[in-house]
Amino acid sequence: MADVLAELEEVPGGAHLRRAAAACAAPAYLVGGAVRDLLLGRPPRELDVAVEGDPEPLIAAIGGDVERHERFGTAVVRGDGWCVDVARCRRETYAHPGALPDVSPADVRSDLQRRDATINAIAVGLADGAVVAAPHAEADLRAGLLRVLHDASFLDDPTRLWRLARYRARLGFELEPHTAALAAQAVSGGALTTISGVRTGNELRLALREDDPVAALRSVAKLGLAPWLEVDVERIAAARALAPADARGDLVTLAAALGPETDGARLQDLGFPGAERDAVLRALEVRAGRHRPAGARPSEIARAFRGLPGEAVALAPEEDRAAARRWLDELRHVRLEVDGDDLLTAGVARGPEVGARLRAVLDAVLDGEVAPERSAQLAAALADDPVAHRKDRRAEP
């Protein structure tokens, strides 16, 4: 396997971290996913450091912007293009299943025992490269196995089930047989009900941010962690392909993967803010065929999709995808050269008639019945009855 410290020197912030650690007396270790990824020859997603003793001198030596999380005694230090998570080595105890842990200072070996899987329970001394590892850790990494460190792991912290599902998808590893049995027992025994909806939602959001979120969600579904998911790979792929560049890919994927019965209460319980809930719920409406164009005319397509976020239109069913593509690529960008003030100035009474006239003219512009020039649009908007005028135009031979 790779020389972790040599590889660390090539990682943004890695050489700086080593110099900072060398200036501090307390032993500091690179731990967790960073060690795992470097040993696998993969770029680490983050740099995690555990310190035996007071971490403050190391935090000061690293410099940068510091964000502290006092409850767990951790800090995130950010610099130019790098980020380091620093924590004091600790042990964790749980007052009851699913509780947030109570922490107390410990040595690095005890710190490794609190981790979610053996492959994340390897520490490398930043000063000398000394390796400290939990039992099975290095062998499991070579074998591609995900193993928990003790039998109560999923009961203490059921979010570990979600994390192992993500590792399984990201790394291509498999659950070690005893761990797989423990996972099945935890799920069937209701372990996931002991954590809040927001904590579950946080894990879901992490899965959606994976490089391959579909693989992550399939892994989650395979473990039975989210029965409200319906991971249809073809539907998700179609929605992601249709989504415009300004759409949130994570919300498109989520809307395509949720069961059709999902409602706002479920999304609120998972901690999604209002705007995100609205986008996903509108997407589910589109997916269910509630916003279908009445015909192929541009104005009919616009009336079906106008006002919907791009994330929602991306969920158009197969028979409406061509229309949805036309809306997203072309029609939604069409704008009038006149506005309500122009109509008021011309004598139209303030009220809903102003909006109705503008909508009628926009439909006419979309259908090619009114020229795009401002003068033509204003004349059409000021016609005695713009809607009837459009009908008459369409009836002409």
Q: Are 372 and 381 in contact (CB under 8 A)?
A: no
Q: What is the mean pLDDT of the chain?
A: 94
Helix, strand, coil content of the chain in percent (nearest 5): 50, 10, 35
Task: Tell me how far apart the alpha carbons of residues 115 and 153 are, in angstroms, rounded to a whole number.
Answer: 9
| pTM beyond cutoff 0.85 | yes
Q: How far is CA 318 from the centre of its chain?
A: 25
Q: Are 48 and 85 in contact (CB under 8 A)?
A: yes
Would you call 249 helix, strand, or coil by DSSP?
helix
Sheet holding 47-51, edge to edge: 65-69, 74-78, 83-88, 47-51, 28-31, 122-125, 131-133
| Per-residue confidence (pLDDT) for residue 45, from 0 to 100 | 87
pLDDT truncated to tens, each residue of the chain (397 aa)?
Answer: 468 999 999 999 999 999 999 999 999 999 999 999 999 999 998 899 999 999 999 999 999 899 998 766 789 999 999 999 999 999 988 989 888 888 898 999 999 999 999 999 999 999 999 999 999 999 999 999 999 999 999 999 999 999 999 999 999 999 999 999 999 999 999 999 999 999 999 999 999 999 999 999 999 999 999 999 999 999 999 999 999 999 999 999 999 999 999 999 999 999 999 999 999 999 999 999 999 999 999 999 999 999 999 999 999 999 999 999 999 999 999 999 999 999 999 999 999 999 999 999 999 999 999 999 999 999 999 998 766 555 555 545 4
Taking only the tens place, the pLDDT of each residue in 12-34 is: 999 999 999 999 999 999 999 99
Phi-psi region of 224 (alpha: psi -120 to 50; beta: other; left: phi over 0): left
Read out DSSP for 97-133? TTPPPEEEE--HHHHHHTSSSGGG-EEEETTT--EEE
Taking only the tens place, the pLDDT of each residue in 85-129 is: 999 999 988 989 888 888 898 999 999 999 999 999 999 999 999
